[in-house]
Amino acid sequence: MTDTQRFPLLPGTRVYVAGHRGLAGSALWRALERRGVGTLTGRTSAELDLRDRDATMAFVAEARPDVIIDAAARVGGILANSTYPADFLSENLRIQVNLLDAARAVGVPRFLFLGSSCIYPKFAEQPIREDSLLTGPLEPTNDAYAIAKIAGILQIQAIRRQDGLPYISAMPTNLYGPGDNFHPTQSHVLPALIRRFDEAARRGDPTVTCWGSGTPRREFLHADDLADACLHLLEFYDDPAPINVGTGVDHTIAEIAGMVADTVGFGGTIEWDTGKPDGTPQKLLDVSRLHGTGWTSSVDLPTGLTQTYRWYQDHREASADGRPRS
């Protein structure tokens, strides 16, 4: 790790953002445009299926980017991960292996792999340090996805040892923001709450029922903050160890539900279905190493929630399946 700018993102830098239409990827795209990076490349899943090894290898060989940011993944909340664990494991492994092998084949100079805070043990000491990786059992509701992301971290480290390439990995906490997935059954907790409370407020429902007990604690990072952190890490960070990206602040799910209710104008009662799983009791990242590189988050949760809800209001009718798209 270094505080010296070793890998500047110059106007002529060619950057491929894998998953550029997703929550993290679209925020990265916006941040790179603001920075004036010369050539940005992105492909939709219809244009390039990253699970297809031959197609991925051919694309990277033709594009020859200077930087690849892997923000492509199959993602979802507790229900989706519990229902489709084999798909989450298989698809995410294929996406990242294909991208990393393609990058090695053509000697892409810089690669940033985006993982997830779910890689850490279910009962890791809080706040979670990077060195807690592989020290205990995972949360069963998303262990398949976590294993895939852990494999990505180890592949980054193996490439550094074998090839000497300065590839890095970053582990974001729970993300939210404009462009999130608000699907009724396949979204993460915060967009799911926004959708549920918005629908209840518009119908005039007296109550909203949320999963679990409301006691687990979660940390949330605005996607624009993640993008800003990623550009900072690409320029300043060079270490085989993954680095946490978060705010260093968490809230109970009940507190977050209350914030969402206030944001959307729901004035009814919040009830809790304790027969549904809570997931990990707490998942707060230790971001001291990130702060040591000179970066801290800037978007507070109330501000980010208001911004995200406005985006949702503008886009909620854009898709019949309940997943707004920009």
164 burial level (CB within 10 Å; 0-12, 13-18, 19+): exposed
> What does DSSP assign to residue 139?
P
Contact 218, 78 (CB under 8 A): no
DSSP 132: G
Binding site members for substrate: 196, 211, 218, 278
Annotated binding site for NADP(+): 19-25, 114-117, 149, 172-175, 188
- Give Cβ neighbours of residue 68 (< 8 Å, ≥ 6 apart): 15, 16, 18, 60, 99, 103, 108, 110, 111, 112
Q: At 306, phi and psi to the nearest 5?
A: -60, -45
Distance in angstroms (rounded) separating the CA atoms of residues 189 and 68: 29
153 closest CA partner among 138, 137, 174, 131: 131
Q: Are 108 and 68 in contact (CB under 8 A)?
A: yes
For the chain, what percentages of helix, strand and coil (3-state, to nearest 5) are there? 45, 15, 40
Annotation marks residue 145 as catalytic: yes
Active-site residue identified among 16, 84, 120, 145: 145
Mind telling me the catalytic residues?
Answer: 145
